[in-house]
Amino acid sequence: MKRIVLFVVVLLLNLQFLRADEGMWLLNQLDQLNLKDKGLQMDVNDIYSPGKISLANAVVNLGGASAELVSAEGLILTNHHVAFGAVQRASTRGTDYLTNGFLAKTRDEELPAPGYVARILLEMKDVTDRVLKGIDGIDDPLKRQRAVKKRIEQIEEEIENGRSDIDADIASMYSGQKYILFKYQRFEDVRMVFIPPRSIGNYGGDIDNWMWPRHTGDFSFLRIYMSPDGKGAKYSPENIPFKPKRWIKIAREPLSEGDFTFIIGFPGRTNRYSTSYAVSFAQNYYYPLAVKEFGEIINLLDEIGKESPQLAIKAVGTSKWLNNGMKNYQGNLEGMKRLNLLGEKQKQEQELQKFINSDNDLKKKYGDLLAKFESEYRKSAQTFERRFLLERFNYLAGTIPGIARGIYGTASERAKPEDERNPSFSEKNVKRTIQRLKYRYMSYAPEIDKALLKRMLLRIKALPEDQRIKGLDYIFKDFASVDEFVDYAYANTKLTDVAYAQSLYEKSLDELNKSDDPFIKMARALQPETEKLNKEREERRAVLNELEKQYIEVLMAWKKRPFYPDANRTIRLTYGKVSGYSPRDAVWYEPFTTLHGVMEKETGKFPFIVPEKLKELYRTRDYGQWVDQNLGDVPVAFLNECDITGGNSGSPVFNAKGELVGIAFDGNWEALTGDWKFEPVIQRAINVDIRYVLFITEKFAGADYILKELGI
């Protein structure tokens, strides 16, 4: 067995045999990818080199998405849909920036992007030995998981050293075979510079989402600010634009089909090393229920939004991310069935079991591994609907109920002995929650909140007897109807005041238990079942994590080739050529779309409304320097073979010289199952062409000063 473990370690370090076009690679793996042979025209050490300033230091982690520094004054580019939340929150103050867009003609006019946090990579380091020292001997999965989390927290606190503008994140790779430290500088003063109108930045809306051909100008300019002494800081009029040590130059040479490109960003989650049991659970339980729930809530929000423009703005933030998730899940379901992913996984596992049974040592360690997976997922399926609703109550039942649960949950954790608390609990996170609470209230509207809570309570009331959430029985017994309870609760709560809600985070559990606030009472009633659910989830996750770790080990030993780690919101690189694809028989999709295609799609009704000024530019062919001579038009979006997923939104797309040629914003519908399996023939990244970004900025918005700042 020692030889097998050694072989696995060697595979983790040697990547030369894996197909080049697949993978979301860690930056410390790049020197083994032979990128020069694939078309790279720069030194790989200029992309990332430990201890040196490189291209990776100009890539920004922007909340759950990505962005890129493009000037010496902290200017960043990201997607319109990434900046959407900031625009929506700013629009609730009386001006509809969502519809009309926003342009700051001077630095003084730049508006805060409420709730946005930018993080810039300072260091990346393997800390596996430090994390696992003395822990390898712990056999119990839950105890081991807790010990690992505690050790990680200790190391992160040591590195942060009390600085509020330093974030240390230690991420697990290969289900715990390796641990990598990512150290960031944190900036909480991000401001809006230029946001195109929705008719450009969200052209095609949810209809075109995940689809090709695409004609969306999905970009926005923001700016990072820092304190005068160079530290990351919260918003202040005294702050100055961030002065990065590295930013990305705009490409001046036209991009063409077949050109080498690469993307650096922060992909969210992939499940490529999952078993057939995980696929079956997603296909038969998670995706169908999520699609149903999200669809119903979207319809509900759409109806409420019709009541007034103000309510429409309040509702759109929630409905947008729900729509995005729902369509993603629908695409996954369709793709799983089309590719027979479940059958393919089952066939692979039959062959894997034969390999395990062929060696006594392997059989002893891994012989019942697949059977254990089956048992865990069977248990997960038994009460899944109840668990789904309870786990997502904080976000799908309205703003005020979710905040109340957060307040009560915080007090409950504080009341426990320190060694019995949830490992993810920390006072640092509580402090940040309190500070950021005001951003949640920017989307609050009583009409929306009441409708969401009513819907959630009716869903819970309709659960089968064996899945009852007993803590809420009092609502159905003490009130004549759910409507009566909802009206009573909102009429008798003070939690609609953000300052009051913030103050409750300082209260003890005993003090909260004396509260007669209807939402605190509801949170108190739910807490025992929440605690039980969290414990079960932690135990299940610990067991599955250990099984997944073993599964990857034996897969590596069987396949005799290296594996890149699944995406987990850490910085990655992917590469591939500009290329079209064939979605089905006798159909070929070209790799570029153009302004002409924007006009072809126009219907005059949302989401296919073209602004009059853009029509005029098209009619007069006033394209300036942004026309592509081969296309005879302004390019809008392009496809490449890069391997991306959620979280990559806003990622910079580079040419072979490391210059910016586009911004990643989507994947294609036919390959949404890429989170489970990479399909090189059809999987593509969809990117807005930098030439369209600059065309809209200069010719449509008249923001020449931005181009000057970019060095154009």
Catalytic position from the list 81, 276, 319, 675: 81
Please state the φ and ψ torsions of residue 493, each to the nearest 5 degrees.
-110, 150
Look at residues 191, 190, 192, 188 and name the one whose alpha carbon lies nearest to residue 232: 188
Q: Is position 81 annotated as part of the catalytic site?
A: yes
- The DSSP H or E segment spanning 510 is helix 509-513
Residue 607: asked if its preceding bond is cis (omega within 30°), the reply is yes
6 alpha-carbon distance from chain centroid: 34
Catalytic position from the list 649, 651, 675, 689: 649
Structure tokens at 207: 């209809």
User: What CA–CA distance (Å, rounded) separates 200 from 601?
Assistant: 12
Q: Is position 256 annotated as part of the catalytic site?
A: no
Structure tokens at 672: 């949404």
SS3 label, residue 161: coil
Q: Mark residue 134 as left, alpha or beta (left: phi above 0; alpha: psi -120 to 50; beta: remaining).
A: left
Look at residues 81, 195, 58, 97 and name the one whose alpha carbon lies nearest to residue 706: 195
What residues contact residue 98 under an 8 Å CB cut-off, 6+ apart? 84, 87, 88, 91, 198, 313, 316
613 alpha-carbon distance from chain centroid: 34
Q: Side-chain half-sphere of 194: how many Cα atoms within 13 Å?
A: 24
Structure tokens at 334: 């369709």
Tallying the residues shown for the chain, one arrives at: 712
User: What CA–CA distance (Å, rounded) separates 658 from 638?
Assistant: 17
Asked whether 574 and 640 are in contact (CB, 8 A), the reply is no
Catalytic position from the list 218, 449, 633, 689: 218
Q: Is position 218 annotated as part of the catalytic site?
A: yes
Look at residues 685, 551, 572, 480 and name the one whose alpha carbon lies nearest to residue 177: 551
* Number of helices (H), then strands (E), in the chain: 28, 19
Residue type, 376: E
The DSSP bridge partners found for residue 689 are 662
- Torsion, Cα 679 680 682 684, to 10 degrees, reads 110
Structure tokens at 40: 């790279």
What 8-state DSSP symbol labels residue 251? P
Kindly list the distances between the CA atom of residue 431 and the CA atoms of 67, 203, 426, 471, 502, in Å, as whole numbers in the listed order: 26, 38, 9, 29, 10
The set of catalytic residues is 81, 218, 649
